[in-house]
Structure 1
Amino acid sequence: MKVIKTIILSLITLILVLIIAGSILTIVIILQYLPKLPDPSLLLRYNPPVKTTIYDARGIPLADLYAEKRIIVPIKDIPQHLKDAVVAIEDERFYSHSGIDLRGIARAVYRALRSGAITEGGSTITQQLARNVFLTLERTPSRKIMEMLLAMRIEATLSKEEILHLYLNIIYLGEGCYGVESASRTYFGKSVKDLDLAESALLAGIIRSPENYSPLKNRDLAISRQRIVLRKMLELGFISEKEYESALKEELKFSTGKESYWKAPYFVDYVLSILKNDLGFKDIEKNGLSVYTTIDLDIQKKAEEVLKEGLEKAKGYNVSQGALVLIENSNGYIRAMVGGRDYRESQFNRVTQAYRQPGSAFKPFIYTVAIQEGWKPEDTIVDEKISFKIGNKWWIPKNYDERFRGTITLKDALAYSINIPAVKLLYEVGIDKVLDLAIKMGIPLDRSQDRNLAIALGGLTNGVTPLQLAQAFSVWANGGVLIKPVAIKTVLDREGKVLYKSETKPVRVIDTETAKTITEMLENVVKYGTGKRANCGHPCAGKTGTTSDYRDAWFVGFTRRYTACVWMGNDDNTPTRRVTGGMFPAEVWGRLMSYVLANTQPLPLF
C-alpha cells in the first residue's frame, strides 16, 4: 500500500512538474516569438497580387496578365455550400476554435505515430491563412510555433467571416489558380457564384493537394476526393441526405482548362510596351489594372483573316510576311493591328518595329510641298532621261518600266507613280522643305543623312514603320491635321479609380486646301492609277509603294473615316518575285476597308 502511495505521489509530482515546466516553456516561447509576429490587422488592408486585364474598345477581354492567376470576389458572391464544404474538409471546428484546434492536432499526431507517416495536417484555416500571407513554407518547429501564435492573434483581430473571405481568395487551387473565383473559371468555365453543391465540393477537395486533385490532371482522383467532402458535409449536418445523394449522382462538366492565346496578340504587346515604357506602370501583372484600349475585336479578326489570306496568295511570289494597321481618322484610335503572319511563330511586331523602305509611298510628301509652293495638279513636268551629279558620281534615276512618257501632268505622274517626275519635283521644291514636312507628319528622317534626291523613291536611311506611315497619311485624311495614333483609352486600378486617360491633341501641319488637293490626287491612284485593286466601293485615296528589287510592297490609303497601311515582304530583306504594292497589299487593303465600311453611307473624302 505504501509503495502504491509512493508511486501515485511520484506520478502527481511528475505531472505537476511537467505542467509547470510546460507553462514556463510556453511563456518563454511566447515571449521569444511574440515580438516577431506581424500585425494581423494588416490583413484588413492586404492586397494580394491580382491579374491585369486588357480590353478591346467594347469591353471584350483581350488578355489576362498575372503573376498569380487571381480574381478577388466579395464574400457575398461565394456560395454558402462552398464555404461549408471548405470548412467541413479543412477545419470542421473552424467556428468554435480560437485559431488552433488542439483536438485536430492531437488526432493528427496520434495517426502519424500509428502509421509512421503524416497522413493529415493539423493546421486550421486560420493557420493556413497566416502561413500563406505572413510566413514561409519551411517545415521547422519555429515556423510552426509562429504560425500557431499568429493564428490566435488573427482570430482576436478579425471575424470568422473576414478570415474565411481572405482564405478563399488567397488559397492555391492548382493549374496556376489562386482563389476560388479563378479556380471556378478554370475548372468549370463559370463564376464561383454560379457553382452548385457538387462543384463546390470538388473545389474544396482540391485544397489539400492541388496538383494531385486537379480534375484536369486526375479526374477520377478528384471525384473520389469530392465524395469524401460530400460525406463529411453530411456527417456535420451541412447538407441533407437528399442533397448528398443528388450531388453524388450529378455528372460534372469540366472546362478544357486550355487558355486561348491572347486576342490581338501583337496589339497586346504594343499596349504593354506603352504601359511600361511610356506611362511608367510597374508590376503590371500584380496590380489588378483594367486597361481599356481602342482596338475593335471584330475589325481585328477581319484584319487577321484578310492579311492571312493575302499572304497565302502571295506565298508563290516569295512573300513570307506582312503587316496591317487601321486607324480611325477623327480620334487616332487604332482599330486593328496585325504585326505578322502568326504570333506563335514570331512575336516581332512589324507594324511598330519593322523599319522598311517606303518606296513610292513617300512621293506624296514631295507633291504636298509642291502644291504648297504654288504648283497645281494640272501643271506639267517632263518625264525624260536625266542625271544628277552627286559628289564625284552621276546618279541616273529610272522609271519602274524603264520608259519615258514625255510631258505629263503632276496628277498623272503621281497616279501612275512615275519616278523621274518625282525626283525632278523634289529637286525643284528643295529637299529641306520635304524633310521638314515629312518629319512634322511623323516620318523619322535623319536631316543630314536623308538629305539626298534618293528619298523621292523612298530611299530612307532608317526606313519607316507601317504605323508611322499610316499616321502620316491620316494627316491628309484629316484635312491637314495630325492626330497621333492612340492605343489605350483609359487605365483603372483595382478599385476602379482612373489612373490614366488618353487625350487627343490635334496639330495642324498642312493647310486645308493643300490637304484637299493632295487627297484628290491620291484618289486618282485608286480610280485609274497603280492602286486600282484597292477599290473598296467607297471614296478612297492612297498610294502604292514598291522598293528596288521588289523587297517591299506597300499600300497605304484612307477613306473619310479610316486610314490603313498594308506591307508585305520578307524579314531577311530578300526580294519578292516582282510583287508590287498595287497587287496583294492593295487587295488586302480594299477587302478590309470594304468590311469596315459595310452598311455605312459612303462619304466624300472632303
Structure 2
Amino acid sequence: MEIIFIERLKKARKYIRMGILLALLACVLFLIGFGLLFTYAKVAGPPPLSVPQTVTFYAQDGSVIGEMSHGEKRYWVPLKDISPFLTAATVSIEDQHFYQHHGFDGKRIGGAIVADIKAGAKVQGASTITQQYARNLFLGHDKTWERKIVEALYTVRLETNYTKAQILEGYLNTIYYGHGAYGVEAASRFYFGKSAKDLTLAEASILAGIPKGPTYYSPMDHLENAKSRQKLILRAMVRNHKISQKEALSAQTVALSFGTKPYIEKEQLAPYFVDSAKAQLINELKIDPDMIKTKGLKVYTTLNPSLQKIAEETVRSTVADYSDIQIALTAINPNNGQVQALVGGRDYEQSSFNRATQAVRQPGSTMKPFLYYAALKEGFTPSTEMKSEPTTFTMADGVSKYTPSNYNNYYADGPITLAQAIALSDNVYAVKTDMFIGEKKLIETAKLLGISTPLKEVPSLALGTSGVKQVEMANAYGILANGGKEVKPSFIQRIETYDGQTVYEEPIQQKQLLDPKVAFVTNQLMTGMFDPKLNDYTSVTGTPILKQLSHDYSGKSGTTLTDSWMIGSSPELTTAVWSGYDDNREMTSPPERKYTKEIWATFMEKALRNQGASSFSTPKGVVGVLVNPDNGKLATSTCPVARLTYYVKGTEPTEYCTEHLHHKKVKKVKPAPQKHWYNSLWDWVR
C-alpha cells in the first residue's frame, strides 16, 4: 500500500509541476501578448477622432445666425463645458469602473456571461465607455466576431494613447441622443434649449438615460420610460457617492419641459446672407473639406445684426404685400468690403434664389460712374461740355445706327457739363463720352472695379444694358467711395476650429486700384444727384428723396424697362438696392420704380442715425473751386448759382463766367411732367 501511495504522490507532484509550468508559460504568453498588444497600440498610434460636426455661423455681435450639418447635428464641446452632473450620471450608469479599468471591465464581463448563461440568451451588455466610443467612431453595430476583435484593438489604442478625460469627452460628443442630435451639446439644445454646461441634475439624469435606447427613452416620445430610467440612474449616482439620497429624490420630482426653448426651431436671421457665407466657405477660401466636415468650425461673419434687421424691416414695410416684385439689398463697408447686411429676396421660404449674389440684371445708369472715371482719366473734367440733344450714332461697321434717348425725351438742346450730365442722368452725354474715349475703356474700368460678369462692347453699355451682379456693383461703388483702394466682397472675417485654433483670418486689402484723385472727383460727381444746384432741363435724379436725407452721400440711380437700381455711399457705408421681377417682365407702374430709392434712403438714414456728420476725405492733389454749374466756369458774384466743385489739381477752370456781368439770369427749370402710366415706358431711363 505504501508503495502505491508513493507512486501516486510522485505522479501528483509531476502533475503539479506541469501545472505550475503551464501556468508560468501562460503568464509568459499573456505578458508577451500584452506586450505585443501594447507595442501595436503605440506603433499604430492614436486613432483619428474625426466625426461629422456642425459648422456654426456667428454675426459680429457673437449671436448664432446659421448652421451647416453633415448628416449629423453635433457641436463638439470640451469636458469642462459639460455639466458635471451629466458626466457623473453617464459614468454611473454606463461604466462605473471607468476610471479603474484599461478599456475592459473583467468583473463586468464575467457578470454578463453568468447572466447570459442563466437566461439562455444575451441579456446583459459589458461594453465599457471606451469600447462604446471605439464602436461609435470606427465601427457598425453588427455582432460578428470580426467586429468585436477590431473593436478590442481600437479600444486598446484609445486607452493607450488618450487620457480618461479625453476618452470621456469624445464619448459624450459622439453618442447618439435621438431626434437627430449627436453629442451632449446638440442633445442639450434640442431637449432643454440650453448648453450642456448649464444642465441641472434633473435634466442631466434624463439625458444620460437616452443613449440606452434613443427612441424608447426619449422624454418627448416616451416620458414614462425616460422617468423610469432616470430613477435607475439617480440610484446609481447615490450608490457611487456622486449625489446624496436627498438630491436624488428632489431631482425625481422636478417637472421638466422639453423642446420649447429658443434653441428649438428658432427663426433664422439673414438666411440669404448665411447661404452666401456658406458658399464663400466652401468655394472661395480653400478650407480642407475634411476640416469643414469634422472640426466643428466656428465661422465669424461680417453680418451686422442691427443693420440686417433694418434692411429686412425696410423692405417689408416699403413694398406692397400684394406685389410679387422682388427686392435685393447689399450693404458693404466700403473701407474693407465686408458685407454688413444682405437681402436676397422678399421671402426665403418661397425662394432661396439669392438675387443679391446670383442674379445677373441690367444695371441701367448705375454704370455711368465707371464711364466717367474712365473719361476723367482720359482728360475730361467736371466742366467738360457736350450737347444734350437727340443724336443718332453710326456704328463702326458704317451701317448700323443707334439712337439713345433721355427720360421722357427731355433734352437741354444745348451744352451741359459732365457734372450736370451725371446728376441729371443724361443718356446722350453718356453715349457720346463712351464713343469718344473708346468703348473698351468702360469695360476695362468695370473689370478693374471687380465686375467679373462678361460685358458686351456696345455703345448701349454706357446705359447699363449688359447684366451684372448686385454684390459686385455695391463693392465697385465702395471702391470709388474709399478713394480707390482694393476691397472685395467678404462674408467671413475669421474661422476657428471647435477647440479655438484659427484656420482663416480675412486678409487686409491695401492695394491702390484707382488714381485716388480721380476716384475722389468721380465720387464727388456722384453727390450731384442730391444737389438741386445742378437742376437744368430737368431736376436732379435724387429729388424724390432729398427731404429724407441728413448725411453726405454720393450715389447713382438706374432704370431699364425691367430693372430699377439705387446705389450710394456715405464714408462708412455703401448700399445697393435693386427691384424687378424674376421673369424679367417690364415694370409698368411708377410706384414700382420708386421702391429702390425709398428703400435706399430709409435704410441709409436709419443705419447711420447714430453716426455723426462725416464727409469724404479730400486727397492731396485735388482742389475745390466755386463754379457756375450751367457752364462749368469760375463763378462770379453776379452768377445766380455757384457750386463748390472738385478737380484734379491743374484741371480746374481758369476762365470766369461772364454771362451775368450785365444782367442777372435766373436759371429756369422745366416743371416735372404730369405722370401717366405710359410715361414709364421709356427706352432707357436714368
CA RMSD of aligned residues (A): 3.4
Structure 1 segment 125-140 matched on structure 2, within 5 A? 125-140=129-144
Checking the alignment, whether the CA contact within 8 Å between 1:108 and 1:122 is kept in structure 2 is yes
The answer for the alignment partner of 2:583 in structure 1 is 572
Checking the alignment, whether the CA contact within 8 Å between 1:37 and 1:150 is kept in structure 2 is no
Checking the alignment, whether the CA contact within 8 Å between 1:545 and 1:581 is kept in structure 2 is no
**1:459 has 2:465 as partner:** yes
The letter for the 2-side match of 1:594 is E
The answer for the alignment partner of 1:246 in structure 2 is 250
The answer for the alignment partner of 2:393 in structure 1 is 388
Kindly provide the CA deviation profile for residues 294-347 of structure 1, in whole angstroms up to 9, marking residues without a partner as x: 22122122212222333336x54x52x121111112222211122222222222
Structure 1 segment 109-148 matched on structure 2, within 5 A? 120-148=124-152
Q: Which residue, 404, 413, 422 being the options, matches 1:414?
A: 422
The answer for the alignment partner of 2:567 in structure 1 is 556
**1:603 has 2:646 as partner:** no
| TM-superposed deviation, 1:408 | 4.8
| TM-superposed deviation, 1:251 | 1.6
Of residues 144-153 and 61-70 in structure 1, the stretch that sits farther from structure 2 once superposed is 144-153
Question: Which secondary structure does the structure 2 equivalent of 1:500 belong to?
Answer: strand
Structure 1 segment 12-91 matched on structure 2, within 5 A? 39=41, 42-43=45-46, 46-67=49-70, 68-91=72-95
**1:302 has 2:295 as partner:** no
Kindly provide the CA deviation profile for residues 480-522 of structure 1, in whole angstroms up to 9, marking residues without a partner as x: 3342233222223344333222223334444344333333332
Question: Which secondary structure does the structure 1 equivalent of 2:209 belong to?
Answer: helix
The answer for the alignment partner of 1:367 in structure 2 is 372
Question: Which secondary structure does the structure 1 equivalent of 2:67 belong to?
Answer: strand
- The normalised TM-score by structure 2 is 0.75
| TM-superposed deviation, 1:169 | 2.7
The letter for the 2-side match of 1:258 is I
Checking the alignment, whether the CA contact within 8 Å between 2:174 and 2:183 is kept in structure 1 is yes
Checking the alignment, whether the CA contact within 8 Å between 1:300 and 1:335 is kept in structure 2 is yes
The answer for the alignment partner of 2:176 in structure 1 is 172
> Between Structure 1 and Structure 2, whose CA radius of gyration is higher?
2
2:38 and 2:100 mapped to 1: Cα distance? 27
| TM-superposed deviation, 1:261 | 5.3
Structure 1 segment 41-440 matched on structure 2, within 5 A? 42-43=45-46, 46-67=49-70, 68-95=72-99, 99-101=103-105, 104-105=108-109, 120-148=124-152, 151=155, 160-256=164-260, 258-260=264-266, 262-281=268-287, 282-283=289-290, 284-312=292-320, 315-316=322-323, 319=325, 321-390=326-395, 391=397, 392-410=399-417, 411-440=419-448
2:56 and 2:85 mapped to 1: Cα distance? 29
1:359 and 1:35 mapped to 2: Cα distance? 74
Question: Which secondary structure does the structure 2 equivalent of 1:69 belong to?
Answer: coil
Question: Which secondary structure does the structure 2 equivalent of 1:266 belong to?
Answer: helix
Of residues 47-56 and 156-165 in structure 1, the stretch that sits farther from structure 2 once superposed is 156-165
The letter for the 2-side match of 1:598 is R
> In structure 2, do the counterparts of structure 1 residues 261 and 48 end up closer, same or farther at CA, with 3 Å as the change threshold?
same
1:525 and 1:146 mapped to 2: Cα distance? 74
| TM-superposed deviation, 1:552 | 0.5
Checking the alignment, whether the CA contact within 8 Å between 1:546 and 1:580 is kept in structure 2 is no
> In structure 2, do the counterparts of structure 1 residues 586 and 216 end up closer, same or farther at CA, with 3 Å as the change threshold?
farther
The answer for the alignment partner of 1:13 in structure 2 is none
1:176 and 1:253 mapped to 2: Cα distance? 19
The letter for the 2-side match of 1:551 is T
Question: Which secondary structure does the structure 2 equivalent of 1:70 belong to?
Answer: coil
> In structure 2, do the counterparts of structure 1 residues 424 and 204 end up closer, same or farther at CA, with 3 Å as the change threshold?
same
What number of residue pairs does the alignment pair up? Answer: 576
> In structure 2, do the counterparts of structure 1 residues 205 and 48 end up closer, same or farther at CA, with 3 Å as the change threshold?
same
> In structure 2, do the counterparts of structure 1 residues 554 and 493 end up closer, same or farther at CA, with 3 Å as the change threshold?
same
2:390 and 2:84 mapped to 1: Cα distance? 86
| TM-superposed deviation, 1:398 | 2.0
The answer for the alignment partner of 1:539 in structure 2 is 552
The answer for the alignment partner of 2:488 in structure 1 is 484
1:387 and 1:205 mapped to 2: Cα distance? 82
Checking the alignment, whether the CA contact within 8 Å between 2:45 and 2:161 is kept in structure 1 is no
The letter for the 2-side match of 1:341 is R
> In structure 2, do the counterparts of structure 1 residues 165 and 291 end up closer, same or farther at CA, with 3 Å as the change threshold?
closer
> In structure 2, do the counterparts of structure 1 residues 481 and 79 end up closer, same or farther at CA, with 3 Å as the change threshold?
closer
Checking the alignment, whether the CA contact within 8 Å between 2:45 and 2:157 is kept in structure 1 is no
The answer for the alignment partner of 1:591 in structure 2 is 602
Checking the alignment, whether the CA contact within 8 Å between 1:532 and 1:582 is kept in structure 2 is no
| TM-superposed deviation, 1:107 | 5.5
| TM-superposed deviation, 1:110 | 6.3
| TM-superposed deviation, 1:155 | 5.2
Checking the alignment, whether the CA contact within 8 Å between 2:334 and 2:475 is kept in structure 1 is no
Ranges in structure 2 where 5+ consecutive residues have no aligned partner: 1-21, 533-539, 618-686
Question: Which secondary structure does the structure 1 equivalent of 2:319 belong to?
Answer: helix
Kindly provide the CA deviation profile for residues 242-284 of structure 1, in whole angstroms up to 9, marking residues without a partner as x: 1122111212243436233543222222222222222211131
Question: Which secondary structure does the structure 2 equivalent of 1:401 belong to?
Answer: helix
Kindly provide the CA deviation profile for residues 7-58 of structure 1, in whole angstroms up to 9, marking residues without a partner as x: xxxxxxxxxxxxx9xx99xx99x98xx9899738855863444333222233
Q: Which residue, 501, 507, 514 being the options, matches 1:503?
A: 507
The letter for the 2-side match of 1:51 is T
Ranges in structure 1 where 5+ consecutive residues have no aligned partner: 1-19
> In structure 2, do the counterparts of structure 1 residues 428 and 167 end up closer, same or farther at CA, with 3 Å as the change threshold?
closer
2:192 and 2:57 mapped to 1: Cα distance? 23
Q: Kindly, what percent of the aligned residue pairs are identical?
A: 38
2:453 and 2:573 mapped to 1: Cα distance? 25
2:267 and 2:144 mapped to 1: Cα distance? 42
> In structure 2, do the counterparts of structure 1 residues 160 and 396 end up closer, same or farther at CA, with 3 Å as the change threshold?
closer
Checking the alignment, whether the CA contact within 8 Å between 2:181 and 2:187 is kept in structure 1 is yes
The letter for the 2-side match of 1:552 is D
